[in-house]
């Protein structure tokens, strides 16, 4: 290290808000060590107040990072550098002593179930990136709670960042500020360090006033040290470290050690016309209508759906054997394109105040616009695309980035469940897996038992999406919708799920698989979807109650011909929707077998192998 850097690294920056001395020793040490390393000009300890939030937004306006959307109340638009628009799986790594702690050792090629980096390589990468990386900027200290403050299921983190966008977004997505520090006391916390990697003065001009360093982007997780270290990207999933990094990758590892589950699942409450209520958790890959399901307006008279969360569930069995779930988040970080009054009326009612929009288009009257918004433009109103160019519908390219987002407070959603912030969590009675499968997979089927259900989750496949950098429409394996988010070896993760059946007194939820996206030979959807999906939820609800009838098939239980309530629906071809083709499923079994053999290899639990063999035998008998 050059000598002048050493001298500089011992100077503590000025604390412009908050009091370092009043912090718990471990928190203070974490801040001081990284402040000396990253050399920001100032340190700002966030208190989470409204006043602070206004200041942060003003700073961003001044820097040209966001602009106010005059059409709505307290809404803002950020346009990013076009090179920083999504999670970057190729640069997202987990650091453990042995590779096998992070991913199974694939038979051939590289693992698709996570990316491992050695401790030595990480050390080098860290030392080339972080020294002096915050020069000229403010280091914000964000104390945050994942889950309601003080809940036995919640966990605390402290994120250090040089991005005001992260501060404003984390205030929406988590419980953040002084109350969290009070709750922390001298307890444990996850250490999160983030830098956009653009020290001042800049070496080259910014694009869209959006600081980032795509060439050196790295999002690293150190589960043994309970640390997350992210460099070079200001985009949500890479910089709001409470989100996927903590709530899934680090939390899934904590969950394994502590005997609970951290899952990429929405949580919803459903109440039948008699006033009886059940809670479901559901795992879908991106772009399978997860937020739409979590906020659904059911078309069935007398049924009610309420939202606990749209993305992440932390679940733990209580002493009575109920699987209790909390939504660790405090906001929605939803994909904007495709969100409309038709697809998700409750999201539309949520997102037009106190929201930060990123990479959507802007209308000349101070509003937002995107593909699938289903709102005709007022005559005379023009659109500026996310690339900051004039846009018209015949431009041939989208006005909003496919992965553009809204970041909105959850409490604004008109159908939030009364228990969404309940510290003990809500009792889960059903778990739903699903994917986007244009062919072969029925509308709904139920697992024969818990082991079979875990197998169904492990065998999930879906058309690939825009949330990460994959292109094109290919059917990808996405076990448990967790493929990009496993915090440890997937084989061990499956063993952990299977072990839930051994919990004393555990009331295991029923497990289902759904596919709203099956098409006919003309490429038309066979099922109307959206609010009509309540009909499928009704069947599941009644299955748990022991009321709905089902018939066994090779892949699981499906509704008997009259069990699905189709009242008022026209032209639904049940035969096609529930067809189980021998030819299709033989190929499916082959694909799954191949995937398990190559990707999970020696770490595949024996029970899952046995479930696959049993499925193969049942398909043979079709």
Strands 116-117 and 14-17: unpaired
Q: Exposed, middle or buried, 113 (CB in 10 Å: 0-12/13-18/19+)?
A: buried
With vertex at residue 618, the alpha carbon angle to CA 615 and CA 622, rounded to the nearest 5 degrees, is 135
CB 349 within 8 A of CB 413: yes
* CB-CB neighbours of 502 under 10 Å: 7
CB 481 within 8 A of CB 282: no
Closest CA to 176 of 146, 154, 151, 150: 146
| Three-state secondary structure call for residue 601 | helix
| Among 38, 133, 245, 288, the one annotated catalytic | 288
Which tokens go with 547? 């009321």
| Three-state secondary structure call for residue 139 | strand
Closest CA to 362 of 79, 56, 57, 168: 79
Q: What are the two backbone dihedrals, phi and then psi, of residue 137, each rounded to the nearest 5 degrees?
A: -110, 170
* Distance from C-alpha of 463 to C-alpha of 477, rounded to nearest angstrom: 9
Q: DSSP string covering 362-381, please?
A: EETTS-EE-TT---PPPTT-
Closest CA to 564 of 514, 496, 495, 492: 514
Q: DSSP string covering 205-233, please?
A: PPBTTB---GGG-EEEEEGGGTEEEEES-
CB 77 within 8 A of CB 357: yes
Could you write out the three-class secondary structure of 532-551? HHHHHHHHHHHHHCCCCCEE
Which tokens go with 590? 């082959």
CB 131 within 8 A of CB 114: no
Is 288 part of the annotated catalytic residue set?
Answer: yes
* Distance from C-alpha of 348 to C-alpha of 537, rounded to nearest angstrom: 23
* Distance from C-alpha of 56 to C-alpha of 40, rounded to nearest angstrom: 17
Q: What are the two backbone dihedrals, phi and then psi, of residue 147, each rounded to the nearest 5 degrees?
A: 100, 165
Q: Which stretches within 326-469 are classed as H helix? A: 345-350, 450-458
CB 237 within 8 A of CB 243: yes
Closest CA to 350 of 334, 371, 326: 334
Q: What are the two backbone dihedrals, phi and then psi, of residue 158, each rounded to the nearest 5 degrees?
A: -125, 120
* 620 secondary structure, DSSP code: H
Count how many Cα atoms sit within 13 Å of the Cα of residue 330 in the half-sphere of its side chain: 19
- Catalytic positions are 288
């Amino acid at each position: 290290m050059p000598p002048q850097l050493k001298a500089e690294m011992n100077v503590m920056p000025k604390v412009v808000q908050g009091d370092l001395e009043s912090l718990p020793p471990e928190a203070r040490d974490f801040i001081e060590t990284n402040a000396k390393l990253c050399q920001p000009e100032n340190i700002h300890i966030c208190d989470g107040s409204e006043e602070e939030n206004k200041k942060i937004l003003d700073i961003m306006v001044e820097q040209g990072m966001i602009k106010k959307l005059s059409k709505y109340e307290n809404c803002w638009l950020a346009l990013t550098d076009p090179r920083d628009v999504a999670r970057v799986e190729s640069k997202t790594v987990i650091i453990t002593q042995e590779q096998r702690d992070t991913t199974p050792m694939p038979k051939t090629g590289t693992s698709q179930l996570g990316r491992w980096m050695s401790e030595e390589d990480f050390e080098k990468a860290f030392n080339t990136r972080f020294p002096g990386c915050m020069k000229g900027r403010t280091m914000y200290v964000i104390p945050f709670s994942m889950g309601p403050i003080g809940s036995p299921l919640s966990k605390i983190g402290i994120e250090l960042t040089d991005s005001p966008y992260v501060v404003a977004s984390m205030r929406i997505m988590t419980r953040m500020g002084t109350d969290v520090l009070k709750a922390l006391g001298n307890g444990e916390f996850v250490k999160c360090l983030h830098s956009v990697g653009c020290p001042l003065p800049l070496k080259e001009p910014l694009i869209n006033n959006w600081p980032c360093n795509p060439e050196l982007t790295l999002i690293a997780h150190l589960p043994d040290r309970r640390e997350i270290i992210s460099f070079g990207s200001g985009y949500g999933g890479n910089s709001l470290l409470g989100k996927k990094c903590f709530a899934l990758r680090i939390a899934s590892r904590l969950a394994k050690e502590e005997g609970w589950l951290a899952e990429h699942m929405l949580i919803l409450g459903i109440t039948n016309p008699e006033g009886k209520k059940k809670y479901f958790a559901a795992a879908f890959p991106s772009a399978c209508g997860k937020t739409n399901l979590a906020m659904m307006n059911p078309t069935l008279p007398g049924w009610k759906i309420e939202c606990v969360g749209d993305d992440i569930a932390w679940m733990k069995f209580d002493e009575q054997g109920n699987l209790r779930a909390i939504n660790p988040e405090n906001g929605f970080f939803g994909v904007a394109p495709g969100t409309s009054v038709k697809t998700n009326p409750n999201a539309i009612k949520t997102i037009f105040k106190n929201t930060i929009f990123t990479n959507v288009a802007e209308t000349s009257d101070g509003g937002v616009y995107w593909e699938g918004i289903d709102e005709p433009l007022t005559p005379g109103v023009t659109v500026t695309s996310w690339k900051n160019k004039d846009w018209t519908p015949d431009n041939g390219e989208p006005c909003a980035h496919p992965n553009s987002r809204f970041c909105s407070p959850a409490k604004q959603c008109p159908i939030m469940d009364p228990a969404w912030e309940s510290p003990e969590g809500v009792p889960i009675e059903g778990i739903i897996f699903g994917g986007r499968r244009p062919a072969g997979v029925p509308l709904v089927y139920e697992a024969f038992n818990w082991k079979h259900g875990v197998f169904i989750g492990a065998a999930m496949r879906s058309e690939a999406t825009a949330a990460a950098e994959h292109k094109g429409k290919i059917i990808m394996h996405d076990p448990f919708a967790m493929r990009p988010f496993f915090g440890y070896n997937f084989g061990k993760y499956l063993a952990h799920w299977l072990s839930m059946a051994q919990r004393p007194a555990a009331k295991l939820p029923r497990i289902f698989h759904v596919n709203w996206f099956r098409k006919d030979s003309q490429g038309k959807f066979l099922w109307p979807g959206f609010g009509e999906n309540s009909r499928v939820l009704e069947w599941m609800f009644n299955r748990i109650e022991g009321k709905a009838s089902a018939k066994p098939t090779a892949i699981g239980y499906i509704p008997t011909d009259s069990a699905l309530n189709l009242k008022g629906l026209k032209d639904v071809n049940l035969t096609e929707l529930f067809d189980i083709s021998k030819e299709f499923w033989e190929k499916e079994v082959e694909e799954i077998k191949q995937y398990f053999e190559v990707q999970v290899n020696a770490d595949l639990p024996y029970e899952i192998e046995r479930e696959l063999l049993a499925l193969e035998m049942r398909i043979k008998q079709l």
